[in-house]
Amino acid sequence: MRRMNKGLAALLALLLMVSIFATACGADKDQTTSGQKQNPVGQAAFPLKTDSKKVIAEYNGGKVTEGEFNLYLNILGFFQPQVSMMIQMPGMKQEIAKQYIGEMMVARQVGDSAEFQKKADETMKKLEEQAKQSLGNPKESFDQILRKAGITKPQLKDFIIRGEKVSAYFEKQIKPEQLKAEYDKSDQFYTVKANHILISVQDGKRSDADAKKRALEVKQKLEKGGDFAQLAKQYSDDPGSKNTGGLIEGKPGDFAPEFANAVKTLPLNKISDPVKTMYGYHIIKVTERKKQPFDQVKDEVKQMLLEKIYKEYLAKNVKVSKWNLPKEPQPPLPGSGMTGGQGQPAAPSQ
């Protein structure tokens, strides 16, 4: 779904555990030429069948069948379509299954409450309104929209109730002073504005040595008073920024690791030495770097802490004694022609 209320969005962020996905997928390898991340290509056919009674995991407290796990994936995929791509990655289903088991354990520990039912009813009502506006034909019922995703209303409501229990359980563990302490020590809440010129080494464009030499030449021109915008247009191999003066804006975490470290530490308005990333050599000038006010990012800090303690809970409490998950499909061999979703190489986003 493209739109959802703030509370549900935060809840899904917790349940989806994006940070775990990124770790398991090696997400830093899938980025654009300007250093920003993009999703991998390839996806599973959704909805998945939910009638299998095959046990795919046994853990301390119960079992998980293939059918109930596929239902969980269908619901996640309904809200976040990238799940259909993520589960193709080696080890990804196992990571998501651990999260599902963790949810089940927490929900049983929390128990039932009329408040959870009330919140779920409110969320279901909002989802129905949003789904009919953004997903389907106005004449389609919410039940029909869900059926296409392999879900029923009661199943979706159960998912939301369980998620509310998980969120409530971990939110109780966070104290106000923890939020401010986390904010003070974190470098996740800076925004930066910088100009960069990329000299690419990708696609055999030039050798590493030639790229570095060219980057040094660009640096010298800038230090002698050259116009950054003109030189970016002339030299930069980043199609997303070369015609806008090499302008890059965002949080350091949005960029490739080496680029992120540079924009966090470079003196303002100074021309950098060549910074090497997987794309080539960047000449960077950071023009603005500021930390977002605590009140503006308080919810993000809270979400970060929730994800942290959730991961700690999973590591400590979820003990799977037996796995029987289906094997992930093997990636195509080099030269097979299957280099992208439609047989074409995946191009960097502009």
User: Which residues make Cβ contacts (< 8 Å) with residue 60, sequence separation at least 6?
Assistant: 317, 318, 319, 321
Q: Name which of 348, 16, 310 is nearest 169 in CA terms.
A: 310
What's the burial of 262, exposed, middle or buried (CB within 10 Å: 0-12/13-18/19+)?
A: buried
Write down the pLDDT at residue 348: 30
Whether 228 contacts 245, CB under 8 Å: yes
For residue 245, pLDDT over 50 is answered with yes
Whether 306 contacts 39, CB under 8 Å: no
Question: How does the average pLDDT of the chain come out, rounded?
Answer: 82
Mean pLDDT of 67-80: 92
φ, ψ for residue 107, nearest 5 deg: -60, -40
CA distance 349 to 293: 30
Model pTM score: 0.66
Whether 269 contacts 222, CB under 8 Å: no
Beta bridge partners of 193: 249, 288
Write down the pLDDT at residue 135: 58
Beta bridge partners of 57: 64, 323
Per-residue pLDDT of 250-265, as tens digits, reads 988 789 999 999 999 9
Q: How many residues does the chain have?
A: 350
Mean pLDDT of 194-213: 93
DSSP assignment, residue 313? Answer: H
Write down the pLDDT at residue 12: 57
Does 334 or 279 have the greater pLDDT score? 279
Helix or strand holding residue 103 (H, E): helix 92-110
Write down the pLDDT at residue 79: 84
